[in-house]
Copies of this chain bind each other. A is one copy, B any other.
């Protein structure tokens, strides 16, 4: 194994295997190539057409459709597939796990990924590091990938007690080479935090657009949508099957945050019914202050 350092140009990956060369996997490959951090990148995916495209674009150097073949001889394997496909991919990576290759993932929920790893490998192997880059756009596929996607963004790693710290350091160095800031966190904590800031907003945006698109005067309604609606609803243009997987995978924390939200929204509706402008103003001010502080400067 090459030495592990935090210096982006010196992470010394001879061969990286990226399973799932879409927005996240493709952007990671592009970023590592741009940083000169990796000699060779081997892609893997279901669609040969998409893998050829990734080769043509220079995102990967070559590909295998078989995960085990793609991972053979790699220093590091990144599994960037939808959550619903994790367990099956993991089960194909037993040879790599047994060879001691460091494996990480990019899934948006970590409890489900840890459960998948346990199911596929019999235990969570010490060379498996659960991870999640907090970056993305509403677009998907290798064509949407770009090398700056992770620059200045956070990547959360959720190593377990049984995880080898050298494996964690290796994955951390890889993400740092993309310009990301790496943070460690517990699995359950990650899943709560992401349910609140990412999964619930997606659920609400999808649900609102679905409701409006069912109304009788939907054509008029959408015709008069302004910039605020455009921004609010942007995440409803995200890939539906990916978000089905995320919602199902992080079901418990998501339902808990949704219940909290529903309670507060119900109170706000009651205030509105009663013409209680003071309560509306207090809630709106609290929200504005919180958001303005978040994005100040």
Contacts and interface: CB of A to CB of B under 8 A. Distances in A.
A269 interface: yes
Interface residue tally on A, bucketed by range: 35 or more
30 contacts: A135-B226, A138-B228, A193-B217, A193-B221, A196-B215, A197-B224, A197-B226, A201-B228, A204-B232, A205-B232, A205-B287, A206-B284, A207-B261, A207-B268, A208-B261, A211-B260, A213-B286, A214-B286, A218-B290, A225-B294, A228-B234, A230-B295, A231-B231, A236-B291, A240-B287, A243-B280, A243-B284, A244-B281, A251-B272, A251-B275
A201 B217 contact: no
A162 interface: no
A198 B285 contact: no
A135 B217 CA distance: 21
A49 interface: no
Nearest to A237: B291
Contacts of A281: 240-241, 244
A153 B196 CA distance: 33
Contacts of A233: 201, 291
B244 A134 contact: no
B198 A226 contact: yes
A181 to B, nearest CB: 11
A290 B222 CA distance: 9
Contacts of A220: 189, 193
A98 B248 CA distance: 64
Contact of A137 (B227, B234, B275): B227
Interface in A270-297: 272-273, 275, 277, 280-281, 283-292, 294-295
Contacts of A265: 203-204, 207, 211, 262
A230 B291 CA distance: 9
A220 B193 CA distance: 7
Integer count of this chain's copies in the complex: 2
Given A197-B229, A200-B208, 17 more contacts: A156-B224, A196-B221, A197-B224, A198-B229, A202-B228, A204-B232, A206-B283, A207-B268, A208-B287, A211-B257, A213-B290, A214-B286, A232-B232, A236-B288, A237-B295, A240-B284, A241-B281
A210 interface: yes
Nearest to A232: B201
Contacts of A211: 257, 260-261, 264-265
